Amino acid sequence: MKVRSIISFDWAMKRLLRQKANFEVLEGFLSELLRRKIVIKNIVESEGNRLQKNDKSNKVDILVEADDKEMVIIELQYDSVDEYFHRMLYGVSKTITEYMTKGAPYSHVRKVYSVNIVYFDLGTGDDYVYHGFTHFRGLHTHSELHLTPDRQRLYHKRGAGEIFPEYYIIQVNGFNNLAKDTLDEWIYYLKNNIIEDHFTARGLEKAKELLQYDNLSETEKKQYEKEVDERLLVSGAFRTARFEGILEGEIIGREKGVAEGEAIGLEKGEAIGLEKGEAIGLEKGRFEERNKMVINSHLAGISIDVISSVTGVPPTEVAEILRIFNQSILK
């Protein structure tokens, strides 16, 4: 099966998708997620989506005006943030107030959708796409509160809860790479930076054309490669910090265990751990050079077919190496 390696969605959001000629990509993504056709009127320039010099942040957001009554916040976040739910709430509240004309009636408050693409766990649910919205239900009858006919005509809504913001969370790391529908095809791309030729989701055909590495200008290629390197450095720093924290905890636990007379058990545990570690390290070393060549070729913009031809690694295995590499960056 032929696959195509595409530049990452976060870089595309910052550099390419804000141009009106390229709205089709984001329109397709939002249409698949919201299950209705979305047409982008404008992308608002803000602090979050404005290009910043030497920006190494792993957070990307963009503010979309779908029409005069609806706005969509799209935020992409790689590393875990403890107060992320609060940030979602703050972002929506700030958007509502900033785009409310002073002195206008409350009926002019815009509907806001908050779309959150995250690469870490926000909770313990067993799904990877979540939808949060407001319902007003009777405490006694459990019936939903509906608007009166005149207010339905005024607000173009049926239920009172439809006026309030809605939240979508896509936990990319929870996706199992089995694309069961067109939304899953988008999530597959978000997770693997790959769009398979048989995918039919709205916006992906344009994305395949627009987001090919080979289609970038020489300047854009250099910018992309630089940002990939910077993300690797940032991700490496986070991984190092986590490792050092784990190591410190192990040292404290080991000292406590010795103090409590567990030296024999500790010695056995270290011997077993050392033996297993050496075996794993030996096995990993057999593939390290080959995988490094595949990854470096990919970062240089070389296609999967060419990488396969040069290294002798089958295309499907090359794609799998790149998937594992992308996941290691995004964790």
DSSP code per residue over 23-69: HHHHHHHHHHHHTS-----EEE--TTTS--TT---SEEEEEEE-SSS
Q: What is the pLDDT of residues 180-238, one digit of tens each?
A: 999 999 999 999 999 999 999 999 999 998 988 777 778 877 877 777 666 655 555 44
Is residue 249's pLDDT more than 90? no
User: What global pTM score does this model have?
Assistant: 0.69
- Residue with the bigger pLDDT between 128 and 263: it is 128
User: Minimal CA–CA distance to 87: which of 48, 133, 46?
Assistant: 48
- Domain range annotation of the chain: 3-215, 218-330
Torsion 47-49-50-51 (CA) sign: positive
Is residue 330's pLDDT more than 50? yes
- How far apart CA 22 and CA 15 sit, in angstroms, is 11
Going by pLDDT thresholds of 50, 70 and 90, the confidence category of residue 46 is low
- How far apart CA 56 and CA 77 sit, in angstroms, is 12
Q: What is the pLDDT of residues 74-90, one digit of tens each?
A: 999 988 888 999 999 99
Going by pLDDT thresholds of 50, 70 and 90, the confidence category of residue 73 is very high
**Cα-based torsion angle of the residue sequence 116, 119, 122, 128 in order, rounded to the nearest 10 degrees:** 80
Q: What is the pLDDT of residue 238?
A: 45
At residue 177, the 3 state secondary structure works out as coil
Q: What is the pLDDT of residue 54?
A: 42
Q: What is the pLDDT of residues 91-122, one digit of tens each?
A: 999 999 998 887 888 888 899 999 999 999 99
Residue 272 DSSP one-character state = H
How many angstroms separate the Cα of 8 from the Cα of each of 135, 163, 225?
36, 34, 11
**Cα-based torsion angle of the residue sequence 263, 269, 275, 281 in order, rounded to the nearest 10 degrees:** -110
User: Minimal CA–CA distance to 17: which of 231, 210, 168?
Assistant: 210
The pair of structure tokens assigned to 316 is 């499907």
- How far apart CA 278 and CA 83 sit, in angstroms, is 39
